[in-house]
Structure formats: structure tokens, C-alpha cells
């Protein structure tokens, strides 16, 4: 087995091909309403991503109940604030429908504003489960020992989902857009398990219509092994689905991320080699 076959990557990982027989879906024509394409995604959400393969623990359930109704036990309130456009939160179309106990205030005076949510939480749980908060609480900074912690440039819906993971080991995302924002925040909060779940979810729900935009977005994430794995998965998928990707999107990626185009070209060559091998079998 060599790299020339297209199955072996430069980092030593081996690419396997699995053939699965799936139920046929209706093929939509160009004349169909675009809203029909949204139905498949709507059926897939909300998605629940859980830590570990087993069932949820009773302790996790108890902690989630405590997050939902902290009562007098809370000793810290986090205020997350994110800039919004047009008076709409960064969570997009699902942001307004989500119900939670956090208080939300929005500034809608112009085309831009700020969405702010408050989350009553518990220092001990955050310190035990999240390295970011543990480090902050022990830092001795001005707000490290106060009852109010302000987190600017933090999407409230993404933080709500990640707090649920910190408390109970599960993530609930209402769309791929929210999953993307959760991934960016999970990297910032030093939550590798949550980031791993979100990366796997995003790679499992790719589509030719959005993969070029996904590549541009992923290139802007914090550099590291996680970003490299995500980019590799996106590039490989784009190479396999080349025929279904609009030429205009490829041109936009080439203008914005020329380095990614080089990776995409290499992946296309590898995909072509694999195709020749499969046809010869």
C-alpha cells in the first residue's frame, strides 16, 4: 500500500471505502420549491450529541435539573453578549424559538445591536468540568471571584448548549449553523470532548451545496489538531462531490482561500486514483 494508490494519506492514515444500501430519497427537480430541501434538515434537528456511548448517568441528569432550575444554589451569573445584525441573534432562524430560563435583552435600534443572556450557574461544577473556567477562577483577575462574569463576543445560544454539556455531558443543537458556533466556542472554552462531538456531527451532515462555505468558515477556526481534522474531512468530501458543487462556489473559495484550493486539488487527484482502483476491482 502506497500514497500513489490514493488510499494512504501522507500522515499514515488509511482511507477505507464502505458501501451502504440506504432507503431512496425523492429526487427534487430544478422546478421544486427550495423549501422542500430544508425538510430533510428540519427532520434531523434538534440533534442530541452525548458524551460516551452509554446512557446518561443519573448524576448528569441531576446536574441538568440544577442548571434548569438553580434556585438559591447558584453562586455565579454569566452574562454572554454577542453582536447581532438586523436585530436578529447569531443563532439565526432557530434563535428566537428556543426557550430557556436565561433572561435575554436585545438592542434593535439599527441594523446592528447586541444580544445578551444571563445564565445562573455554579462555580464548583464549572471548575470541575471546564478548564477555561477553572483557570479563570484561580487566576486572581478582577472578576475571578465576583458573582457576575461578563463574556463579550460570546453567542448566548452556543453558550447555553455548551453549559448543558458541562453539566450533563450532552449537547442539543437546533441546526448545523448552531453546531458551527458551538464548535468555535468549545475550542475557546477548552472543551475537547464537546468539540469532537460537534466536528463529527458537522462532518456527518455535509452537503455539496454548503461544503465550500464550510471550508471557508473552518479555515478561520483556531489552528490545531481539531481544525486540521475538520479541514481534512471537508476537503475529502468536496473532492468526492466535485460534480455536484457549483463552479461559482469553487471560484469564491479560490479567491478567499488559495491554500485550501491546493489541498482540494490534491484530494481530487487522490479521489480519482481511488475511483480507478475501485473500477478495476
State the pairing for strand pair 76-85/148-152: parallel
What does the pLDDT read at residue 183?
96
Averages of pLDDT over runs of 10 residues in the chain (281 residues) are: 58 60 53 51 75 61 88 95 57 39 42 80 96 95 92 96 95 94 95 95 94 91 86 90 89 87 78 62 63
Residue 202 has what pLDDT? 95
How far apart (Å, rounded) are the C-alpha atoms in residues 11 and 147? 47
Per-residue model confidence (pLDDT) at position 267 = 76
Phi, psi of 106 (to 5 degrees): -125, 145
> What pLDDT is attached to residue 12?
58
The pLDDT score that the predictor gives to residue 164 is 95
Residue 263 confidence (pLDDT): 84
The vertex-226 CA angle with 138 and 81, nearest 5°, equals: 50
d(CA 205, CA 174): 13
Amino acid at each position: 500500500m502506497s500514497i500513489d494508490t490514493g488510499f494512504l494519506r501522507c500522515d499514515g492514515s488509511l482511507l477505507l471505502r464502505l458501501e451502504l444500501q440506504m432507503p431512496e430519497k425523492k429526487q427534487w427537480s430544478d422546478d421544486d420549491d427550495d423549501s422542500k430541501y430544508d425538510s430533510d434538515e428540519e427532520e434531523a434537528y434538534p440533534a442530541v450529541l452525548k458524551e460516551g456511548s452509554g446512557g446518561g448517568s443519573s448524576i448528569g441528569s441531576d446536574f441538568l435539573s440544577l442548571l434548569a432550575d438553580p434556585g438559591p444554589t447558584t453562586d455565579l451569573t454569566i452574562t454572554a453578549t454577542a453582536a447581532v445584525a438586523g436585530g436578529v441573534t447569531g443563532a439565526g432562524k432557530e434563535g428566537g424559538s428556543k426557550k430557556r430560563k436565561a433572561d435575554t435583552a436585545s438592542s434593535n435600534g439599527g441594523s446592528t445591536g447586541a444580544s445578551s443572556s444571563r445564565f445562573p450557574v455554579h462555580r464548583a461544577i464549572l471548575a470541575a468540568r471546564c478548564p477555561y473556567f477553572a483557570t479563570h477562577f484561580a487566576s486572581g483577575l478582577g472578576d475571578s471571584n465576583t458573582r457576575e462574569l461578563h463574556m463579550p463576543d460570546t453567542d448566548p445560544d452556543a453558550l447555553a448548549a455548551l453549559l448543558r454539556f458541562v453539566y450533563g455531558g450532552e449537547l442539543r443543537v437546533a441546526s448545523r449553523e448552531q453546531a458551527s458556533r458551538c464548535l468555535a466556542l468549545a475550542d475557546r472554552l477548552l472543551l475537547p470532548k464537546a468539540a469532537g462531538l460537534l466536528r463529527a456531527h458537522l462532518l456527518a451532515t455535509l452537503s455539496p451545496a454548503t461544503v465550500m462555505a464550510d471550508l471557508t468558515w473552518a479555515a478561520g477556526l483556531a489552528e490545531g489538531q481539531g481544525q486540521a481534522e475538520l479541514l481534512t474531512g471537508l476537503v475529502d468530501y468536496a473532492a468526492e462531490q466535485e460534480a455536484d458543487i457549483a463552479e461559482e462556489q469553487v471560484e469564491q473559495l479560490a479567491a478567499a482561500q488559495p491554500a485550501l484550493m491546493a489541498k482540494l486539488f490534491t484530494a481530487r487527484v487522490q479521489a480519482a486514483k481511488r475511483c480507478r482502483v475501485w473500477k478495476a476491482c
